Structure 1
Amino acid sequence: MKQLGSQTWQYENRPVILGSSAVVGPEEGEGPLASDFDFIYDSLEMGEKTWEKAERALFTKASVLALENAGIVQEQLEFFVGGDLMNQIISSSFAARKLGVPYLGVFGACSTSMESLAIASMIVDSGGSKYALAGTSSHNCTVEKQFRYPTEYGSQKPPTAQYTVSGSGCAIVGQNDGSGKGPQVVYATIGRIVDLGLSDPFNMGQAMAPAAADTIAAHFRDTGLSPGYYDLIVTGDLASVGFPIVKTLLADEGIPMEETRFDDCGLLIYNLDQQKYVIAGGSGCGCSAVVTYGHILKRMKKGELKRVLIVATGALLSPLSYQQGESIPCVAHAVALESGGEGA
């Protein structure tokens, strides 16, 4: 692996995503990407007594299915890199307890999906392991309870609010044996903290959009590529408020995003016209994770997409920082995937 510019890693051995999984809740199962998910729970309880245990069930289910889809057994897995939105990242830590493998817990808020994939790929690319799992999760009711109000409270939300995805996405990253199996991890651009002084926890899209623009600009600056190199570029969860902002910011920077298809996972996962309760669109760690490890990788496997850049965005606030009147520091991490050959 080598560094390009100031923020980008190039994986010279091109580690491969051998298998992945996307497990979601009932609302996501009613959305337009339902057929791309590996498992859909029919209730938010997911057979558990608490919302936190339900999120843990999501994560555990996704990790098991990712191993199955990769064609390896748990004993072959050597590292688990994961995180979530709960205090002390308990969903991933408790899932790691069940897996029983060396564990690196990471927190990037909703950017954790690509942060964990970048680190897992670095471990594999450097020869530190043969197989590593990258994953994350979120649950609508755990996030609402921790960051805003319990869903049972029934509080009214403003038009800028987003709907936290109940879902978990996991990927098994393995060494590239030259067979062309699976999408290859080619670049990772690590984002900087961007904070423009916004403090409204009900307007994550506006807060995160500048961080997404900053990381996308850094990716093209470091690699020397242009947007047209990719078949698809997606941001994580800017939704209907933040996505127009990032397009404007990139246009102001002179970055020709019109060369490619540019979209947002928070807009893709729900049908905003029919699922009115999602308000501005999807958010949460699970948003970019299940869209990437479900919908996007399946499109790559079919040959519909060859090169994709996923830019996961995260708002790094906590209940404590919000209560103390702090603004919201934001970050975005980008990972570039390319098809490894026929059937990748």
Structure 2
Amino acid sequence: MTAGKQTGSASISFEQPVYIESAAAIAGKKEGDGPLGNLFDMVSKDPLFGTQTWEAAESTLQKETAGLAIGKAGLTPRDIRMAFAGDLLAQTIASSFGIAEMDIPFYGLYGACSTMGEALSLGAMAVSAGYGEHILCAASSHFATAEKEFRFPLGYGSQRPLSATWTVTGSGACVIGSRPPVPQERSEHSPLCCSSGCAVITGITTGKVIDYGFHDSLNMGGCMAPAACDTIWQNLYDFGRTPQDYDAVFTGDLGMVGQRILQDLLFEKHIDISKVHQDCGLLIYDNTSQDTHSGGSGCGCAASVLAAYILPEVVRGTWKRILFVPTGAMLSKVSYNEGEAVPGIAHAVVIEHRDF
């Protein structure tokens, strides 16, 4: 059993690190055509993933990704003590219908696009408290299910403003635990470790719901940037750090619009993250050749970029310490149609390289 302690007013530090045993990511064709396409474990050319509905497609997507992560850790679903997973759909049906078939004790989460950060935070706390040796954390999104749920049916052909982001068809999953993975030579199908090191979670900062009164659901970056600003500031304050203490700060899916707002808001607090900041929504697509307007979004955006790109680089030692800050817009069809604003939330996870 590891140990954790409250750090500051919103953070927890783990005196014994929580190990990331494995990670997997599956993406759709558009994401596979992007800059990270060759890093995903699988790219599906069929947006329905062999099913008859968009919702069933996303359930299949998340289930297959979770199964890959479990297999990479050398485990079976019976070895997983509990699963924390979520998506964008009402009653999180993509997760519950998908992972339910794996017969794993399940907690369904809704943190909008911040869900992977929420899953890793809760999973790390569970591991630290000794409630499970192996915990599954997963999140997914699908362009077609998100458009159907929050915007317009695809056949409507609505125009999108330049501030809009493109919901990622993708899923990311990690298995975390209290023991380090077995050192081995890294290969395409090996667990997320190599002979030199692994990735560990050493701290988390739980975000607050931040409402700046934004009403534009097609400017998610603007809605979520204030929450990202608050959580990043809180993390730095609670841990007594500066941006330079991180090799990289990854936000989830602010896009071009939200990235600029975030940096401006932090600059007002005399914090400059411009040299270390990257955004998963800008990493997953190439806006010079792929028309995604402001960038990518969705629960699967940060989750798949984390599993496919960020964690392997941490394992290699490219980055010794990073801050993973997926962001979410907390709206529903009901709240938006009733004229409510779109508040945001962001959860931060400190991930570090550890040598064996």
TM-score (norm: length of structure 1): 0.96
| Post-superposition offset of 1:301 | 2.4
The match for 2:316 is 302
Q: Which of the residues 265, 274, 287 maps onto 2:289?
A: 274
Q: Does 1:85 align with 2:88?
A: yes
Q: Distance in 2 between matches of 1:53 and 1:101?
A: 19
| Post-superposition offset of 1:261 | 1.8
**Equivalent pair of 2:118/2:347 in contact (CA under 8 Å):** yes
Q: Distance in 2 between matches of 1:211 and 1:241?
A: 14
Q: Does 1:113 align with 2:128?
A: no
The match for 2:187 is none
Structure 1 counterpart of 2:227, which letter?
A
Q: Which of the residues 316, 333, 339 maps onto 2:353?
A: 339
Structure 1 counterpart of 2:239, which letter?
T
Of 213-222 and 168-177, more deviation after overlay is shown by 168-177
**Equivalent pair of 1:13/1:176 in contact (CA under 8 Å):** no
- The number of residues matched between the two structures is 340
| Post-superposition offset of 1:256 | 3.1
User: How many percent identity over aligned positions?
Assistant: 41
- Residues 175-254 of structure 1: pairs in structure 2 closer than 5 A: 175-177=178-180, 182-254=198-270
**Equivalent pair of 2:19/2:181 in contact (CA under 8 Å):** no
| Post-superposition offset of 1:177 | 4.6
The match for 1:39 is 42
Change in 2 beyond 3 A, CA 1:216/1:160 = same
Q: Distance in 2 between matches of 1:239 and 1:37?
A: 21
| Post-superposition offset of 1:105 | 1.1
The match for 2:280 is 265
- Residues 8-157 of structure 1: pairs in structure 2 closer than 5 A: 8-157=11-160
**Equivalent pair of 2:209/2:344 in contact (CA under 8 Å):** yes
| Post-superposition offset of 1:122 | 0.7
| Post-superposition offset of 1:176 | 2.9
Of 150-159 and 163-172, more deviation after overlay is shown by 150-159
**Equivalent pair of 2:20/2:174 in contact (CA under 8 Å):** yes
TM-score (norm: length of structure 2): 0.93
Secondary structure at the counterpart of residue 17 of structure 2: coil
Secondary structure at the counterpart of residue 75 of structure 2: coil
**Equivalent pair of 1:36/1:298 in contact (CA under 8 Å):** no
Query: Tell me, which stretches of 5 or more residues in structure 1 are unaligned?
Result: none
| Post-superposition offset of 1:302 | 2.4
Q: Distance in 2 between matches of 1:42 and 1:319?
A: 30
The match for 1:315 is 329
The match for 2:188 is none
Query: Tell me, which stretches of 5 or more residues in structure 2 are unaligned?
Result: 184-192
Secondary structure at the counterpart of residue 12 of structure 1: strand
Residue by residue over 1:213-257, the C-alpha shift from the partner in whole angstroms, topping out at 9 and shown as x without a partner, is 000000000000111111111111000110011011111111132
Q: Which of the residues 242, 264, 283 maps onto 2:297?
A: 283
Q: Which of the residues 173, 197, 206 maps onto 2:176?
A: 173
Structure 1 counterpart of 2:237, which letter?
R
Structure 2 counterpart of 1:203, which letter?
N
Shift >2 Å, 4+ stretches: 176-182
